[in-house]
Protein backbone atom coordinates (compact mmCIF):
# COMPACT_ATOMS: atom_id res chain seq x y z
CA UNK A 1 0.00 0.00 0.00
CA UNK A 2 2.90 2.38 0.72
CA UNK A 3 4.05 2.04 -2.88
CA UNK A 4 0.60 2.90 -4.16
CA UNK A 5 0.63 5.84 -1.76
CA UNK A 6 4.08 7.02 -2.96
CA UNK A 7 2.91 7.09 -6.57
CA UNK A 8 -0.41 8.66 -5.64
CA UNK A 9 1.44 11.35 -3.69
CA UNK A 10 3.61 12.22 -6.67
CA UNK A 11 0.54 12.56 -8.91
CA UNK A 12 -1.30 14.79 -6.52
CA UNK A 13 1.76 16.96 -5.87
CA UNK A 14 2.27 17.47 -9.57
CA UNK A 15 -1.40 18.25 -10.04
CA UNK A 16 -1.51 20.83 -7.26
CA UNK A 17 1.57 22.50 -8.71
CA UNK A 18 0.19 22.90 -12.22
CA UNK A 19 -2.19 25.77 -11.59
CA UNK A 20 -2.56 26.44 -15.29
CA UNK A 21 -3.76 22.91 -15.87
CA UNK A 22 -6.32 23.13 -13.09
CA UNK A 23 -7.72 26.35 -14.47
CA UNK A 24 -7.31 25.28 -18.09
CA UNK A 25 -9.30 22.10 -17.76
CA UNK A 26 -12.16 23.98 -16.12
CA UNK A 27 -12.55 26.01 -19.29
CA UNK A 28 -14.49 23.64 -21.50
CA UNK A 29 -16.91 22.30 -18.86
CA UNK A 30 -17.70 25.83 -17.70
CA UNK A 31 -18.22 26.92 -21.28
CA UNK A 32 -20.64 24.06 -21.88
CA UNK A 33 -22.41 24.74 -18.63
CA UNK A 34 -22.91 28.45 -19.22
CA UNK A 35 -23.56 28.45 -22.97
CA UNK A 36 -25.81 25.42 -23.10
CA UNK A 37 -27.32 26.01 -19.69
CA UNK A 38 -28.33 29.61 -20.15
CA UNK A 39 -28.71 29.33 -23.89
CA UNK A 40 -31.25 26.52 -23.81
CA UNK A 41 -32.76 27.07 -20.39
CA UNK A 42 -35.74 29.00 -21.70
CA UNK A 43 -36.33 26.80 -24.75
CA UNK A 44 -36.05 23.37 -23.17
CA UNK A 45 -38.79 22.35 -20.86
CA UNK A 46 -38.18 19.10 -19.06
CA UNK A 47 -41.19 17.62 -17.33
CA UNK A 48 -40.53 16.84 -13.69
CA UNK A 49 -37.33 18.89 -13.52
CA UNK A 50 -37.64 21.59 -10.90
CA UNK A 51 -34.32 23.22 -11.60
CA UNK A 52 -34.72 23.72 -15.33
CA UNK A 53 -32.37 22.65 -18.10
CA UNK A 54 -29.37 24.21 -16.41
CA UNK A 55 -30.02 22.15 -13.31
CA UNK A 56 -30.43 19.09 -15.51
CA UNK A 57 -27.02 19.41 -17.20
CA UNK A 58 -24.98 20.28 -14.07
CA UNK A 59 -24.46 16.58 -13.22
CA UNK A 60 -23.60 15.98 -16.87
CA UNK A 61 -20.99 18.73 -16.87
CA UNK A 62 -19.52 17.45 -13.61
CA UNK A 63 -19.22 14.01 -15.24
CA UNK A 64 -17.64 15.60 -18.25
CA UNK A 65 -15.04 17.29 -16.12
CA UNK A 66 -14.22 14.07 -14.27
CA UNK A 67 -14.18 12.08 -17.51
CA UNK A 68 -11.79 14.39 -19.37
CA UNK A 69 -9.44 14.90 -16.46
CA UNK A 70 -9.24 11.20 -15.67
CA UNK A 71 -8.58 10.04 -19.23
CA UNK A 72 -5.97 12.74 -19.55
CA UNK A 73 -4.36 11.75 -16.25
CA UNK A 74 -4.10 8.15 -17.42
CA UNK A 75 -2.65 9.13 -20.76
CA UNK A 76 -0.04 11.23 -18.99
CA UNK A 77 1.99 8.05 -18.52
CA UNK A 78 3.15 8.60 -22.08
CA UNK A 79 4.95 11.70 -20.87
CA UNK A 80 6.54 9.77 -18.06
CA UNK A 81 7.60 7.31 -20.72
CA UNK A 82 9.01 10.00 -22.98
CA UNK A 83 10.71 11.99 -20.24
CA UNK A 84 12.25 8.81 -18.88
CA UNK A 85 10.67 8.93 -15.45
CA UNK A 86 8.75 5.71 -15.99
CA UNK A 87 12.03 3.79 -16.15
CA UNK A 88 12.90 4.90 -12.66
CA UNK A 89 9.61 3.47 -11.42
CA UNK A 90 9.75 0.29 -13.48
CA UNK A 91 13.28 -0.69 -12.41
CA UNK A 92 12.37 -0.49 -8.72
CA UNK A 93 11.61 -3.72 -6.87
CA UNK A 94 7.86 -3.13 -6.93
CA UNK A 95 5.11 -4.84 -8.89
CA UNK A 96 3.58 -3.30 -11.95
CA UNK A 97 0.17 -3.65 -10.34
CA UNK A 98 1.18 -1.38 -7.46
CA UNK A 99 2.48 1.23 -9.91
CA UNK A 100 -0.68 1.03 -11.99
CA UNK A 101 -2.97 1.31 -8.96
CA UNK A 102 -1.01 4.28 -7.62
CA UNK A 103 -1.41 6.05 -10.92
CA UNK A 104 -5.08 5.15 -11.15
CA UNK A 105 -5.89 6.51 -7.71
CA UNK A 106 -3.76 9.57 -8.38
CA UNK A 107 -5.64 10.29 -11.59
CA UNK A 108 -8.99 9.55 -9.93
CA UNK A 109 -8.20 11.96 -7.10
CA UNK A 110 -7.28 14.82 -9.40
CA UNK A 111 -10.31 14.25 -11.62
CA UNK A 112 -12.69 14.16 -8.64
CA UNK A 113 -11.18 17.44 -7.43
CA UNK A 114 -11.88 18.94 -10.87
CA UNK A 115 -15.44 17.65 -10.67
CA UNK A 116 -15.88 19.10 -7.20
CA UNK A 117 -14.69 22.50 -8.41
CA UNK A 118 -17.41 22.45 -11.07
CA UNK A 119 -19.90 21.35 -8.43
CA UNK A 120 -18.99 24.21 -6.13
CA UNK A 121 -19.14 26.72 -9.01
CA UNK A 122 -22.58 25.33 -9.91
CA UNK A 123 -23.84 26.31 -6.48
CA UNK A 124 -23.55 29.90 -7.64
CA UNK A 125 -25.76 29.38 -10.66
CA UNK A 126 -28.58 27.81 -8.78
CA UNK A 127 -27.68 24.24 -7.88
CA UNK A 128 -29.41 23.13 -4.72
CA UNK A 129 -28.00 19.94 -3.29
CA UNK A 130 -30.88 17.89 -1.89
CA UNK A 131 -29.02 16.45 1.11
CA UNK A 132 -25.61 15.49 2.48
CA UNK A 133 -26.41 11.88 1.69
CA UNK A 134 -27.21 12.93 -1.86
CA UNK A 135 -23.87 14.69 -2.12
CA UNK A 136 -22.09 11.56 -0.90
CA UNK A 137 -23.90 9.48 -3.51
CA UNK A 138 -22.75 11.92 -6.19
CA UNK A 139 -19.22 11.78 -4.78
CA UNK A 140 -19.09 7.99 -4.98
CA UNK A 141 -20.22 8.09 -8.60
CA UNK A 142 -17.61 10.74 -9.42
CA UNK A 143 -14.96 8.56 -7.84
CA UNK A 144 -16.05 5.54 -9.88
CA UNK A 145 -15.94 7.54 -13.11
CA UNK A 146 -12.52 8.84 -12.10
CA UNK A 147 -11.06 5.41 -11.34
CA UNK A 148 -12.52 3.65 -14.36
CA UNK A 149 -11.51 6.26 -16.90
CA UNK A 150 -8.03 6.83 -15.49
CA UNK A 151 -7.52 3.08 -15.81
CA UNK A 152 -8.88 3.36 -19.35
CA UNK A 153 -6.37 6.14 -20.06
CA UNK A 154 -3.54 4.01 -18.68
CA UNK A 155 -4.64 1.15 -20.91
CA UNK A 156 -4.50 3.43 -23.95
CA UNK A 157 -1.18 4.95 -22.88
CA UNK A 158 0.34 1.50 -22.48
CA UNK A 159 -0.29 0.91 -26.16
CA UNK A 160 0.67 4.35 -27.41
CA UNK A 161 4.20 5.42 -28.29
CA UNK A 162 3.74 9.19 -28.09
CA UNK A 163 1.09 11.89 -27.77
CA UNK A 164 0.33 11.98 -31.50
CA UNK A 165 -2.66 9.71 -31.08
CA UNK A 166 -4.10 11.82 -28.32
CA UNK A 167 -6.37 13.88 -30.58
CA UNK A 168 -7.63 10.71 -32.18
CA UNK A 169 -8.58 9.26 -28.82
CA UNK A 170 -10.19 12.50 -27.73
CA UNK A 171 -12.28 12.96 -30.86
CA UNK A 172 -13.27 9.40 -31.58
CA UNK A 173 -13.50 7.87 -28.13
CA UNK A 174 -13.87 10.42 -25.36
CA UNK A 175 -16.21 12.88 -27.06
CA UNK A 176 -18.62 10.14 -28.19
CA UNK A 177 -18.58 8.70 -24.67
CA UNK A 178 -19.51 12.12 -23.35
CA UNK A 179 -21.98 12.94 -26.12
CA UNK A 180 -23.91 9.70 -25.86
CA UNK A 181 -24.03 9.66 -22.10
CA UNK A 182 -27.25 11.51 -21.47
CA UNK A 183 -25.26 14.30 -19.90
CA UNK A 184 -27.00 16.88 -22.09
CA UNK A 185 -30.39 15.26 -22.82
CA UNK A 186 -32.88 12.94 -21.13
CA UNK A 187 -32.67 9.31 -22.17
CA UNK A 188 -36.44 8.85 -22.31
CA UNK A 189 -37.83 9.92 -25.61
CA UNK A 190 -34.70 9.17 -27.62
CA UNK A 191 -35.03 7.19 -30.86
CA UNK A 192 -34.60 3.55 -29.93
CA UNK A 193 -31.26 3.09 -31.74
CA UNK A 194 -29.79 6.05 -29.92
CA UNK A 195 -31.24 4.97 -26.64
CA UNK A 196 -29.52 1.63 -27.09
CA UNK A 197 -26.19 3.36 -27.67
CA UNK A 198 -26.76 5.53 -24.64
CA UNK A 199 -27.45 2.53 -22.47
CA UNK A 200 -24.25 0.90 -23.72
CA UNK A 201 -22.23 3.93 -22.67
CA UNK A 202 -20.80 3.40 -19.19
CA UNK A 203 -20.72 7.12 -18.52
CA UNK A 204 -24.53 7.21 -18.72
CA UNK A 205 -24.71 5.36 -15.42
CA UNK A 206 -22.24 7.78 -13.86
CA UNK A 207 -24.23 10.81 -15.03
CA UNK A 208 -27.47 9.27 -13.84
CA UNK A 209 -25.97 8.39 -10.47
CA UNK A 210 -24.66 11.92 -9.92
CA UNK A 211 -27.98 13.33 -11.10
CA UNK A 212 -29.82 11.19 -8.58
CA UNK A 213 -27.46 12.31 -5.82
CA UNK A 214 -27.60 16.02 -6.59
CA UNK A 215 -31.16 16.49 -7.87
CA UNK A 216 -32.94 13.52 -6.33
CA UNK A 217 -34.35 12.36 -9.69
CA UNK A 218 -32.97 10.02 -12.32
CA UNK A 219 -34.21 7.97 -15.20
CA UNK A 220 -32.19 4.90 -14.33
CA UNK A 221 -32.48 3.24 -10.94
CA UNK A 222 -29.46 4.56 -8.98
CA UNK A 223 -28.74 1.15 -7.51
CA UNK A 224 -28.62 -0.34 -11.00
CA UNK A 225 -26.35 2.53 -12.11
CA UNK A 226 -24.05 1.80 -9.20
CA UNK A 227 -23.79 -1.90 -10.05
CA UNK A 228 -23.10 -1.25 -13.74
CA UNK A 229 -20.53 1.46 -13.10
CA UNK A 230 -18.75 -0.59 -10.41
CA UNK A 231 -18.59 -3.53 -12.79
CA UNK A 232 -17.17 -1.28 -15.51
CA UNK A 233 -14.62 0.14 -13.08
CA UNK A 234 -13.40 -3.33 -12.08
CA UNK A 235 -13.12 -4.34 -15.74
CA UNK A 236 -11.16 -1.19 -16.63
CA UNK A 237 -8.73 -1.59 -13.73
CA UNK A 238 -8.09 -5.20 -14.69
CA UNK A 239 -7.74 -4.24 -18.37
CA UNK A 240 -5.44 -1.32 -17.57
CA UNK A 241 -3.30 -3.41 -15.22
CA UNK A 242 -3.02 -6.13 -17.85
CA UNK A 243 -1.80 -3.78 -20.56
CA UNK A 244 0.43 -1.85 -18.18
CA UNK A 245 2.13 -5.07 -17.18
CA UNK A 246 3.32 -5.44 -20.75
CA UNK A 247 4.54 -1.88 -21.14
CA UNK A 248 8.07 -1.54 -22.47
CA UNK A 249 10.41 1.38 -22.07
CA UNK B 1 34.44 -12.21 -4.84
CA UNK B 2 32.41 -11.87 -7.98
CA UNK B 3 29.75 -9.21 -8.27
CA UNK B 4 28.44 -9.99 -11.72
CA UNK B 5 28.76 -13.16 -13.74
CA UNK B 6 27.51 -13.15 -17.31
CA UNK B 7 27.24 -16.32 -19.35
CA UNK B 8 26.46 -16.46 -23.06
CA UNK B 9 24.06 -13.55 -22.83
CA UNK B 10 22.21 -12.87 -26.08
CA UNK B 11 19.47 -10.44 -27.07
CA UNK B 12 17.80 -10.34 -30.44
CA UNK B 13 15.23 -7.83 -31.62
CA UNK B 14 13.39 -9.16 -34.65
CA UNK B 15 16.42 -10.78 -36.18
CA UNK B 16 18.78 -7.97 -35.23
CA UNK B 17 21.28 -9.23 -32.69
CA UNK B 18 21.95 -6.45 -30.22
CA UNK B 19 23.99 -8.54 -27.81
CA UNK B 20 25.68 -11.59 -29.19
CA UNK B 21 26.63 -14.37 -26.82
CA UNK B 22 28.78 -12.41 -24.39
CA UNK B 23 30.39 -13.80 -21.24
CA UNK B 24 32.41 -11.96 -18.60
CA UNK B 25 32.64 -11.47 -14.89
CA UNK B 26 33.06 -8.38 -12.76
CA UNK B 27 34.75 -8.48 -9.37
CA UNK B 28 33.36 -6.88 -6.27
CA UNK B 29 34.75 -3.38 -5.74
CA UNK B 30 35.80 -3.04 -9.34
CA UNK B 31 35.06 -0.22 -11.75
CA UNK B 32 34.22 -1.96 -14.98
CA UNK B 33 33.74 -0.24 -18.31
CA UNK B 34 31.67 -1.27 -21.30
CA UNK B 35 33.14 0.64 -24.17
CA UNK B 36 31.88 0.88 -27.68
CA UNK B 37 30.24 3.01 -30.35
CA UNK B 38 26.51 3.71 -30.37
CA UNK B 39 24.58 0.56 -31.04
CA UNK B 40 27.34 -1.73 -29.84
CA UNK B 41 24.99 -3.29 -27.28
CA UNK B 42 26.17 -1.52 -24.13
CA UNK B 43 22.80 -0.20 -23.05
CA UNK B 44 21.04 -3.44 -23.97
CA UNK B 45 23.52 -5.34 -21.81
CA UNK B 46 22.85 -3.05 -18.86
CA UNK B 47 19.11 -3.27 -19.43
CA UNK B 48 19.34 -7.06 -19.18
CA UNK B 49 21.59 -7.02 -16.11
CA UNK B 50 19.18 -4.66 -14.36
CA UNK B 51 16.26 -7.00 -15.26
CA UNK B 52 14.56 -4.35 -17.38
CA UNK B 53 14.86 -6.54 -20.45
CA UNK B 54 14.60 -10.31 -20.74
CA UNK B 55 17.49 -11.95 -22.61
CA UNK B 56 16.81 -14.10 -25.64
CA UNK B 57 19.20 -16.68 -24.23
CA UNK B 58 22.01 -17.00 -21.73
CA UNK B 59 22.09 -16.14 -18.07
CA UNK B 60 23.65 -13.80 -15.57
CA UNK B 61 23.88 -13.38 -11.84
CA UNK B 62 24.16 -10.08 -10.05
CA UNK B 63 25.32 -10.12 -6.42
CA UNK B 64 24.75 -13.87 -6.51
CA UNK B 65 21.11 -13.48 -7.47
CA UNK B 66 19.98 -15.06 -10.68
CA UNK B 67 18.80 -12.39 -13.09
CA UNK B 68 15.83 -14.47 -14.23
CA UNK B 69 14.77 -16.23 -11.05
CA UNK B 70 15.40 -13.57 -8.42
CA UNK B 71 14.40 -10.43 -10.24
CA UNK B 72 13.31 -8.64 -7.07
CA UNK B 73 16.55 -9.36 -5.21
CA UNK B 74 18.64 -8.21 -8.16
CA UNK B 75 16.68 -4.97 -8.31
CA UNK B 76 17.09 -4.29 -4.60
CA UNK B 77 20.83 -4.79 -4.77
CA UNK B 78 21.54 -2.53 -7.74
CA UNK B 79 21.36 1.16 -8.46
CA UNK B 80 21.08 2.51 -11.96
CA UNK B 81 21.57 5.83 -13.68
CA UNK B 82 20.04 5.65 -17.13
CA UNK B 83 21.50 7.17 -20.23
CA UNK B 84 18.49 9.44 -20.64
CA UNK B 85 17.36 11.54 -17.75
CA UNK B 86 14.80 9.88 -15.50
CA UNK B 87 13.95 12.58 -12.97
CA UNK B 88 10.56 14.17 -12.41
CA UNK B 89 11.19 17.78 -13.35
CA UNK B 90 8.06 19.01 -11.64
CA UNK B 91 9.27 17.75 -8.27
CA UNK B 92 12.08 19.13 -6.12
CA UNK B 93 15.41 17.38 -5.67
CA UNK B 94 14.31 16.23 -2.23
CA UNK B 95 10.98 14.95 -3.50
CA UNK B 96 12.66 12.96 -6.25
CA UNK B 97 14.87 11.35 -3.65
CA UNK B 98 11.96 10.79 -1.31
CA UNK B 99 9.91 9.12 -4.03
CA UNK B 100 12.78 6.76 -4.74
CA UNK B 101 13.20 6.00 -1.04
CA UNK B 102 9.54 5.12 -0.75
CA UNK B 103 9.67 2.88 -3.80
CA UNK B 104 12.54 0.96 -2.22
CA UNK B 105 10.64 0.82 1.08
CA UNK B 106 13.26 2.63 3.14
CA UNK B 107 11.79 3.51 6.55
CA UNK B 108 11.07 7.20 7.01
CA UNK B 109 13.79 8.05 9.55
CA UNK B 110 16.57 6.33 7.64
CA UNK B 111 15.23 7.77 4.41
CA UNK B 112 15.40 11.35 5.63
CA UNK B 113 18.87 10.89 7.05
CA UNK B 114 20.21 9.19 3.92
CA UNK B 115 18.71 11.78 1.60
CA UNK B 116 20.40 14.64 3.47
CA UNK B 117 23.66 12.73 3.56
CA UNK B 118 23.62 11.94 -0.16
CA UNK B 119 22.54 15.42 -1.22
CA UNK B 120 25.52 16.70 0.73
CA UNK B 121 27.76 14.21 -1.01
CA UNK B 122 26.76 15.51 -4.43
CA UNK B 123 26.66 19.11 -3.19
CA UNK B 124 22.99 19.66 -3.81
CA UNK B 125 21.94 20.04 -0.19
CA UNK B 126 21.34 23.78 -0.62
CA UNK B 127 19.18 23.20 -3.69
CA UNK B 128 17.11 20.41 -2.25
CA UNK B 129 13.86 22.37 -2.34
CA UNK B 130 14.30 23.64 -5.88
CA UNK B 131 12.36 22.10 -8.73
CA UNK B 132 14.50 19.83 -10.89
CA UNK B 133 13.45 21.74 -14.02
CA UNK B 134 15.64 24.62 -12.81
CA UNK B 135 18.72 22.37 -12.61
CA UNK B 136 21.61 22.24 -15.07
CA UNK B 137 22.62 19.03 -16.81
CA UNK B 138 25.44 18.37 -14.38
CA UNK B 139 23.25 18.93 -11.34
CA UNK B 140 20.65 16.55 -12.71
CA UNK B 141 23.26 13.89 -13.25
CA UNK B 142 24.58 14.32 -9.72
CA UNK B 143 21.06 14.07 -8.36
CA UNK B 144 20.47 10.89 -10.32
CA UNK B 145 23.65 9.37 -8.96
CA UNK B 146 22.66 10.33 -5.41
CA UNK B 147 19.24 8.82 -6.00
CA UNK B 148 20.73 5.62 -7.34
CA UNK B 149 22.70 5.26 -4.11
CA UNK B 150 19.81 5.87 -1.72
CA UNK B 151 18.96 2.23 -1.16
CA UNK B 152 22.65 1.35 -0.68
CA UNK B 153 23.14 -0.82 -3.75
CA UNK B 154 26.17 -3.06 -4.00
CA UNK B 155 26.45 -2.47 -7.71
CA UNK B 156 25.85 0.84 -9.45
CA UNK B 157 25.20 0.93 -13.19
CA UNK B 158 26.03 4.17 -14.95
CA UNK B 159 24.91 4.33 -18.56
CA UNK B 160 26.92 7.05 -20.33
CA UNK B 161 27.17 9.11 -17.13
CA UNK B 162 28.87 12.14 -18.66
CA UNK B 163 27.28 12.24 -22.11
CA UNK B 164 26.55 15.80 -23.12
CA UNK B 165 28.22 17.44 -20.12
CA UNK B 166 30.88 20.12 -20.29
CA UNK B 167 34.49 19.12 -19.47
CA UNK B 168 34.48 20.74 -16.05
CA UNK B 169 31.30 19.02 -14.94
CA UNK B 170 32.59 15.79 -16.38
CA UNK B 171 35.73 16.03 -14.31
CA UNK B 172 33.66 16.73 -11.25
CA UNK B 173 31.50 13.68 -11.87
CA UNK B 174 34.52 11.50 -12.35
CA UNK B 175 35.72 12.54 -8.93
CA UNK B 176 32.38 11.51 -7.41
CA UNK B 177 32.48 8.18 -9.12
CA UNK B 178 36.02 7.53 -7.90
CA UNK B 179 35.05 8.55 -4.42
CA UNK B 180 32.05 6.23 -4.37
CA UNK B 181 34.13 3.34 -5.48
CA UNK B 182 37.04 3.95 -3.11
CA UNK B 183 35.21 5.12 0.00
CA UNK B 184 32.03 3.10 -0.18
CA UNK B 185 33.42 0.11 -2.01
CA UNK B 186 30.58 0.10 -4.52
CA UNK B 187 31.11 -1.95 -7.65
CA UNK B 188 30.57 0.31 -10.63
CA UNK B 189 29.67 -0.75 -14.14
CA UNK B 190 29.71 2.10 -16.61
CA UNK B 191 29.21 2.39 -20.30
CA UNK B 192 30.91 5.07 -22.30
CA UNK B 193 32.20 5.86 -25.72
CA UNK B 194 34.88 8.15 -24.36
CA UNK B 195 38.21 6.36 -24.16
CA UNK B 196 39.40 9.06 -21.79
CA UNK B 197 36.60 8.34 -19.35
CA UNK B 198 37.19 4.62 -19.35
CA UNK B 199 40.89 5.22 -18.96
CA UNK B 200 40.44 7.50 -15.99
CA UNK B 201 37.88 5.43 -14.11
CA UNK B 202 37.94 1.80 -15.07
CA UNK B 203 40.04 -0.97 -13.62
CA UNK B 204 39.09 -3.16 -16.53
CA UNK B 205 37.07 -2.63 -19.65
CA UNK B 206 35.39 -4.62 -22.34
CA UNK B 207 35.24 -3.20 -25.83
CA UNK B 208 32.01 -4.06 -27.58
CA UNK B 209 31.18 -3.95 -31.24
CA UNK B 210 28.04 -5.24 -32.90
CA UNK B 211 27.04 -6.99 -29.71
CA UNK B 212 30.28 -8.88 -29.25
CA UNK B 213 33.17 -8.38 -26.86
CA UNK B 214 36.22 -7.69 -28.97
CA UNK B 215 38.67 -7.43 -26.14
CA UNK B 216 38.54 -7.31 -22.35
CA UNK B 217 41.49 -6.16 -20.29
CA UNK B 218 42.90 -3.53 -17.96
CA UNK B 219 43.37 -0.12 -19.49
CA UNK B 220 47.16 -0.40 -19.09
CA UNK B 221 47.22 -3.60 -21.10
CA UNK B 222 44.99 -2.17 -23.78
CA UNK B 223 47.10 0.93 -24.12
CA UNK B 224 50.28 -1.09 -24.23
CA UNK B 225 48.71 -3.02 -27.02
CA UNK B 226 48.06 0.20 -28.97
CA UNK B 227 51.41 1.72 -28.06
CA UNK B 228 50.41 4.61 -25.82
CA UNK B 229 50.40 8.26 -26.89
CA UNK B 230 51.50 9.75 -30.13
CA UNK B 231 53.64 12.91 -30.36
CA UNK B 232 53.62 14.72 -33.69
CA UNK B 233 56.35 17.31 -34.27
CA UNK B 234 56.15 19.59 -37.26
CA UNK B 235 59.37 21.10 -38.53
CA UNK B 236 61.18 21.94 -41.75
CA UNK B 237 64.30 20.04 -40.74
CA UNK B 238 62.77 16.60 -40.50
CA UNK B 239 65.82 14.46 -41.18
CA UNK B 240 68.00 16.28 -38.73
CA UNK B 241 65.30 16.16 -36.05
CA UNK B 242 64.57 12.51 -36.70
CA UNK B 243 68.18 11.45 -36.31
CA UNK B 244 68.46 13.35 -33.02
CA UNK B 245 65.22 11.96 -31.64
CA UNK B 246 65.94 8.43 -32.68
CA UNK B 247 69.15 8.59 -30.69
CA UNK B 248 67.25 9.23 -27.44
CA UNK B 249 67.24 6.27 -25.10
CA UNK B 250 63.47 6.32 -24.38
CA UNK B 251 62.36 6.51 -27.97
CA UNK B 252 61.47 3.06 -29.18
CA UNK B 253 59.31 3.90 -32.13
CA UNK B 254 59.70 7.05 -34.21
CA UNK B 255 58.77 7.68 -37.82
CA UNK B 256 59.69 10.52 -40.18
CA UNK B 257 56.96 11.82 -42.51
CA UNK B 258 56.86 14.61 -45.10
CA UNK B 259 56.72 17.53 -42.73
CA UNK B 260 56.60 15.85 -39.33
CA UNK B 261 58.01 13.20 -37.06
CA UNK B 262 55.74 10.95 -35.02
CA UNK B 263 56.77 9.15 -31.86
CA UNK B 264 54.66 6.49 -30.12
CA UNK B 265 55.29 6.19 -26.43
CA UNK B 266 53.77 6.04 -22.95
CA UNK B 267 53.31 9.24 -20.93
CA UNK B 268 54.13 11.60 -23.76
CA UNK B 269 53.61 14.69 -21.58
CA UNK B 270 56.73 13.90 -19.61
CA UNK B 271 58.96 13.95 -22.65
CA UNK B 272 57.74 16.99 -24.54
CA UNK B 273 60.07 19.41 -22.70
CA UNK B 274 63.00 17.18 -23.46
CA UNK B 275 62.20 17.19 -27.16
CA UNK B 276 61.90 20.97 -27.24
CA UNK B 277 65.25 21.32 -25.45
CA UNK B 278 66.89 18.88 -27.76
CA UNK B 279 65.67 20.82 -30.76
CA UNK B 280 66.76 24.21 -29.48
CA UNK B 281 70.20 22.93 -28.44
CA UNK B 282 70.66 21.68 -31.98
CA UNK B 283 69.24 24.80 -33.55
CA UNK B 284 66.23 23.09 -35.10
CA UNK B 285 63.13 25.23 -35.50
CA UNK B 286 59.94 23.46 -34.40
CA UNK B 287 56.69 24.70 -35.93
CA UNK B 288 54.37 22.80 -33.63
CA UNK B 289 54.13 19.86 -31.28
CA UNK B 290 50.95 17.94 -30.52
CA UNK B 291 50.21 15.03 -28.27
CA UNK B 292 47.51 12.71 -29.35
CA UNK B 293 45.92 10.38 -26.78
CA UNK B 294 44.70 7.06 -28.09
CA UNK B 295 40.97 7.37 -28.63
CA UNK B 296 38.31 4.73 -28.90
CA UNK B 297 38.78 5.22 -32.62
CA UNK B 298 42.42 4.08 -32.33
CA UNK B 299 41.60 1.17 -30.07
CA UNK B 300 38.84 0.20 -32.40
CA UNK B 301 41.04 0.48 -35.43
CA UNK B 302 43.61 -1.60 -33.68
CA UNK B 303 41.33 -4.45 -32.64
CA UNK B 304 38.83 -4.53 -35.49
CA UNK B 305 40.98 -3.26 -38.31
CA UNK B 306 38.31 -0.70 -39.24
CA UNK B 307 37.10 2.66 -38.07
CA UNK B 308 33.89 3.38 -36.24
CA UNK B 309 31.53 4.22 -39.01
CA UNK B 310 28.65 6.61 -38.80
CA UNK B 311 26.20 3.87 -39.73
CA UNK B 312 26.68 2.47 -36.29
CA UNK B 313 24.43 5.07 -34.79
CA UNK B 314 21.73 4.28 -37.26
CA UNK B 315 21.96 0.61 -36.36
CA UNK B 316 20.69 1.60 -32.97
CA UNK B 317 17.87 3.58 -34.48
CA UNK B 318 16.97 0.62 -36.61
CA UNK B 319 16.98 -1.52 -33.53
CA UNK B 320 14.72 0.91 -31.76
CA UNK B 321 12.36 1.04 -34.67
CA UNK B 322 12.20 -2.71 -34.87
CA UNK B 323 11.64 -2.84 -31.17
CA UNK B 324 8.77 -0.42 -31.60
CA UNK B 325 7.25 -2.32 -34.45
CA UNK B 326 7.39 -5.42 -32.35
CA UNK B 327 5.59 -3.69 -29.55
CA UNK B 328 3.08 -1.86 -31.71
Select from B75, B82, B327 the Cβ nearest to the Cβ of A84: B82
For chain A, give the secondary structure using H, E and C.
CHHHHHHHHHHHHHHHHCHHHHHHHHHHHHHHHHHHHHHHHCCCCCCCCCCHHHHHHHHHHHHHHHHHHHHHHHHCHHHHHHCCHHHHHHCCCCCHHHHHHHHHHHHHHHHHHHHHHHHHHHHCCCCCCCCHHHHHHHHHHHHHHHHHHHHHHHHHHHHCCCHHHHHHHHHHHHHHHHHCCCCCCCCCCCCHHHHHHHHHCHHHHHHHHHHHHHHCCCCCCHHHHHHHHHHHHHHHHHHHHHHHHCCCC
Mean pLDDT of B255-264: 78
Helix (H) or strand (E) holding B60: strand B57-62
Cβ neighbours, 10 Å, residue B49: 25
Select from B103, B147, B324 the Cβ nearest to the Cβ of A6: B103
The SS3 assignment for B139 reads helix
Residue B103 touches partner A, C-beta closer than 8 Å: yes
Q: From the candidates A9, A87, A156, which should be mutated to test the interface with B, based on the most B CB atoms within 10 A?
A: A87
Residue B88 touches partner A, C-beta closer than 8 Å: yes
B133: nearest CA partner in chain A: A83
Split at pLDDT 50, 70, 90, the class of B327 is: very low
Split at pLDDT 50, 70, 90, the class of B281 is: confident
Contact A93 B328 (CB under 8 A): no
List, for residues A75-134, the tens digit of each pLDDT value. Answer: 989 999 888 899 999 999 999 999 999 999 999 999 999 999 999 999 998 888 878 999
Task: Judge whether B80 and B157 are in contact, CB under 8 Å.
Answer: yes
CA A73 vs CA A80, A114, A215, B268: distances in Å: 11, 12, 28, 59
The number of folded domains in chain A is 1
Task: Judge whether B206 and B213 are in contact, CB under 8 Å.
Answer: yes
Residue B328 touches partner A, C-beta closer than 8 Å: yes
Question: Measuring CA to CA, which residue among A38, A215, A195, A19 is closest to residue A119?
Answer: A215
Split at pLDDT 50, 70, 90, the class of B313 is: very low
Residue A11 has a pLDDT of 94
Domains and CATH numbers, chain B: 2-224 (3.40.50.300), 228-293 (3.30.70.920)
List, for residues A133-185, the tens digit of each pLDDT value. Answer: 999 999 999 999 999 999 999 999 998 888 888 888 888 999 999 999 989 99
Q: From the candidates B13, B72, B103, which should be mutated to test the interface with A, based on the most A CB atoms within 10 A?
A: B103
Angle at A103 between CA A99 and CA A109, to 5 degrees: 145
Q: Which residues contact B157 (CB under 8 A, 6 or more apart)?
A: B46, B49, B50, B78, B79, B80, B81, B188, B189, B190
Q: Decide which of B231 and A231 is more confident.
A: A231
Split at pLDDT 50, 70, 90, the class of B322 is: low
Rounded Cα distance, A58 and A74, in Å: 24
Residues of A in contact with B90 (CB under 8 A): 13-14, 17-18
- Residue A57 pLDDT greater than 50, yes or no: yes
List, for residues A59-72, the tens digit of each pLDDT value. Answer: 999 999 999 999 99
Residue B24 touches partner A, C-beta closer than 8 Å: no
Select from A83, A84, A92 the Cβ nearest to the Cβ of B103: A92
- Residue B328 pLDDT greater than 50, yes or no: no
**Can you give the residue range of the structural domain that contains A134?**
2-245
Rounded Cα distance, A178 and B220, in Å: 68
Rounded Cα distance, A222 and A228, in Å: 10
Distance from the B63 Cα atom to the nearest Cα atom in chain A, whole angstroms: 15
Least confident of A2-6, A39-43, B6-10, B319-323: B319-323
Q: Decide which of B257 and A152 is more confident.
A: A152
DSSP assignment, residue B56? S
Q: What is the ipTM of this complex?
A: 0.90
Mean pLDDT of B25-45: 91
Amino acid sequence: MDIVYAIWLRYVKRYLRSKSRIVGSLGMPLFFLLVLGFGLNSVVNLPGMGQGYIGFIIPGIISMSVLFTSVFSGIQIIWDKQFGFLKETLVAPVSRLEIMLGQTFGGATTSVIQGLIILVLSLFIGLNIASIAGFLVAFVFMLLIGISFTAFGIAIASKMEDMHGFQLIMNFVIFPIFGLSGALFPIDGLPSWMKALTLLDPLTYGVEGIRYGLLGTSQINPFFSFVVLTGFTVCMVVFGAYLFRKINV
Amino acid sequence: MIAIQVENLTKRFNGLTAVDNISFSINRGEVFGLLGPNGAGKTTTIAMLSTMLKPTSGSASVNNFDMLKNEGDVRKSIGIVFQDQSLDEELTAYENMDFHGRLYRIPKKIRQKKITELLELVELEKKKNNLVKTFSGGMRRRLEIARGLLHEPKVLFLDEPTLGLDPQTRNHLWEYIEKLNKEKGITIVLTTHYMEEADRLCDRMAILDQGMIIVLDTSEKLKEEIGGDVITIKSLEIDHLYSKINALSWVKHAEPHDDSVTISLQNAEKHVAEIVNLASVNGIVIDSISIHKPTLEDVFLHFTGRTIREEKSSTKDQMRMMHRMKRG
